[in-house]
Structure 1
Amino acid sequence: MATTEQRLDESRGASTRPTNIRHWVVAATALTSVLLYLDRFCVSFAEIYIKEDLGLSDGQIGWMLSAFFWTYALAQVPSGWFSDRFGSRPMLTLYVLLWSLFTALTGLAAFSFVVLILLRLGFGVAQAGAYPTSAAILSKWVPFTNRGLASSIVAVGGRVGGVLAFLLTGTLILWFVPVSADSRLQPGDVMDPARLSYQLVEADPIEPAGAAESLGAELLKSMSSEEQAVILRNADRHAADLQAAMEAEIARRERAARSTRRLL
């Protein structure tokens, strides 16, 4: 079987003689795999900040993350056919450009959750052709006896991309989304429980109209209707508990930031 496969390789141009071009092809394909997983996972690591910035619910975040896999699965076979029909090199180039474009455009989705979902769907379509096309390229450039090694190098590239996604996303978040960024937490919320209680039952007496809501109001919205009723009836009595909850949230964010800095 191996002999037959080798003959087929030679007839298609996959010579058994090692060349520098073949090594460059494997390296480029592995780099593509790095980019594949880097762009795929960066959104997952920034999930909590996207949720807070866009005001999304847990359900909407779930839709955002799963939308990618719908089209990614459905487009696997068609993308492989396109690579066979129009050539693996131009199609892989097109796939990389498209998924990079969809990744960049994700930052413009702040005005619409629907647009965010559409971009994630397009992202899945673009990435679906990466591995089928890479396999086609390896079959043309790498002989049968070395194809397992080449495929494993490409697979390792994807895992490296997943690690880099964590490190790079964490670094960019530390640079552009510091702990003191718009977290909807006002210093007075923690230092003045009475002020917080008033904000839960009335409009904010201090902040101007249109200003960001306090973390206390945000916590109230996340509660069930029964929990809200208890809080609203006993705002003053529960002010200390709410203050402790906010202090715990601040401590959690600070610990997360310190952990990320230690990893970097």
Structure 2
Amino acid sequence: MHDMYHPVFGIISEQDPFRDLITADHVARQKAEIALIARYLAAVIDGTEDPANIELPGQRRCAYRPDLIDKPAHPFAPMSRTDADGVVWDLQPPGTTPNSGDLDDDEGLWRPRMTASMCKTRYERAVLKRLEAQRRHAEMAAAYGEADPRTIAAKFELRKAEEAQSKALKDADSPNMRAWESHGRWRANEGHEEYKASRRTRTEANVDRNASQDEKDATAKRKAAARAKAYRDKKKAAKAKV
């Protein structure tokens, strides 16, 4: 007789005084497990009973809780953070498709917040306003609830921003709008000086400012002297009444 291994007690020595008792218990357990497995196979093959009612060895049953299983353990909460360069990053909801430039870490998917300097077209500016309205509505809903007047007002602004974005998307397909935006980019960059020069209608000032400065100073002195004299006359009249 040699040492034997038990799944609960580990290796049982040949000299263990409880060896026979442990071995008998192990054999009995094995027989019971074999009987359950045979019953389960018979239920599957012959259909004598529902296999789901048979608890196999090592199988635990638990009550089905839809409120715990079907919902995430931690609901998504909007978060933002700012890096050393001053760029604001927003945490995206689960399931968001990553874009170029996104950052993925243990907390989730982070996306840099769009700023006005990134917007080159009317549609991009409309998208920026819609994102800002959406973020404001989410913050109000999380802080005060959907029924609060502040949340309702934020939702109304979000709806307006979504409509403006849809209109900007339709206008982007117009040749006139594309030409107008192209001219605006030229006017703001390489054509800035030329555009400013085309708006000038005079090459010299209407009057010589240096020559007229002395006259302005003399006029200011006369007005100041007149105000001082009127103040003194008013005080003298007040004293005479007393």
TM-score by length of 2: 0.20
| Structure whose residues are more often strand by fraction | 2
Q: Bigger radius of gyration, 1 or 2? A: 2
**Higher helix proportion:** 1
> TM-score, normalising length from structure 1?
0.18
- Which structure is richer in relative contact order (CA contacts within 8 A, separation 6 or more)? 1
